[in-house]
């Protein structure tokens, strides 16, 4: 069954990512945060901890927004990121479907931001929790009641909003880049509230394909290094 193959691929990527980076990431970023105590930008000013903490969360989330957007526009980065979009359906397992290379690149980008800004350890750890929790939430196939959805997505990326980003239509896939806060998509003009053909007719999968399901974990892992012919 297709769901078994999908879950096998997604959970395998989770295990590979956990072994290579995910378990190490909070510790590594915490060490970077501690090392920037006398260097980072925030340490040059007499700012309250609460202000720095909240500003750090906002800036890290904005960074992830632009990182995500960049991964869609730079050809080699897109070849790495398309592993995530090759999932032909969406559920909570899709939240962990990332190529190890993308996880590593993201880690070093976040580490650079933490070091340059002097982001405190507490903000690093809280943001890591928020990012993972929001990814699990907005990749689920559940739907919020319409009246609640309209209010929640003004601030937080909802499953309905992120589902549009996983459309096989490029116009829709190149929108709604946020993972946690939806304000970045609104501010940077990339927010799309509804699918062109409606949520019920939204086709999930790799952009510009009719249908695509990697046949093996090996095929998933080598996707960034192989030419990919569009299926239409």
Kindly give, in sequence order, each residue whose CB lies less than 8 Å from that of residue 151, ignoring residues fewer than 6 positions away.
none
Domain residue limits at 171: 2-225
Q: Are 60 and 46 in contact (CB under 8 A)?
A: no
Q: Considering the domain boundaries, does residue 168 fall inside one?
A: yes
Mean pLDDT, rounded, for 156-181: 94
Check residue 4 and give its pLDDT: 62
pLDDT at 231 over 50: no
Q: Considering the domain boundaries, does residue 103 fall inside one?
A: yes
Count of C-beta atoms within a 10 Å radius of residue 226: 9
pLDDT grade, residue 1 (50/70/90)?
very low
Q: Are 17 and 98 in contact (CB under 8 A)?
A: yes
Residue 82 and residue 48: Cα distance in Å, rounded?
A: 41
Residue 139 and residue 173: Cα distance in Å, rounded?
A: 14
Q: Are 150 and 194 in contact (CB under 8 A)?
A: no
Q: Considering the domain boundaries, does residue 116 fall inside one?
A: yes
Q: Considering the domain boundaries, does residue 12 fall inside one?
A: yes
| Cα radius of gyration (the chain) | 18
**pLDDT tens-digit map of 11-55:** 676 666 665 566 666 777 777 777 766 778 998 888 999 999 999
Q: Considering the domain boundaries, does residue 231 fall inside one?
A: no
Q: What is the DSSP letter of 44?
A: G
Q: Considering the domain boundaries, does residue 100 fall inside one?
A: yes
Check residue 59 and give its pLDDT: 97
How many separate domains does the chain show?
A: 1
Check residue 34 and give its pLDDT: 76
Q: Considering the domain boundaries, does residue 232 fall inside one?
A: no
Which of 22-36, 49-63, 129-143 is the most confident on average? 49-63
pLDDT grade, residue 218 (50/70/90)?
confident
Q: Considering the domain boundaries, does residue 230 fall inside one?
A: no
Least confident among 68-77, 184-193, 213-222: 213-222
Mean pLDDT, rounded, for 207-219: 74
What rounded mean pLDDT belongs to the chain?
Answer: 85
Q: What percent of the chain has pLDDT over 70?
A: 83
């Amino acid at each position: 069954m297709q769901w078994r193959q999908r879950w096998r691929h997604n959970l395998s990527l989770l295990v590979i990512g956990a072994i290579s980076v995910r378990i190490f990431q909070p510790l590594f970023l915490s060490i970077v945060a501690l090392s920037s105590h006398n260097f980072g930008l925030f340490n040059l000013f007499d700012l309250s901890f609460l202000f720095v903490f909240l500003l750090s969360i906002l800036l890290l989330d904005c960074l992830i927004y632009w990182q995500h957007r960049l991964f869609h526009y730079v050809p080699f980065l897109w070849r790495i990121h398309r592993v995530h979009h090759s999932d032909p359906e969406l559920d909570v397992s899709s939240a962990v479907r990332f190529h190890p290379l993308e996880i590593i690149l993201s880690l070093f980008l976040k580490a650079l931001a933490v070091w340059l800004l002097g982001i405190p350890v507490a903000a690093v750890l809280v943001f890591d929790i928020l990012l993972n929790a929001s990814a699990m939430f907005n990749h689920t196939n559940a739907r919020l009641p319409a009246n609640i959805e309209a209010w929640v997505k003004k601030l937080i990326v909802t499953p309905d909003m992120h589902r549009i980003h996983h459309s096989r239509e490029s116009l829709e896939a190149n929108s709604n880049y946020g993972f946690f806060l939806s304000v970045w998509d609104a501010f940077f003009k990339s927010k799309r509230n509804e699918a062109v053909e409606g949520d019920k007719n939204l086709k999930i999968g790799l952009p510009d394909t009719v249908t695509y399901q990697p046949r093996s974990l090996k095929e998933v892992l080598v996707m960034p290094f192989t030419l990919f012919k569009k299926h239409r």
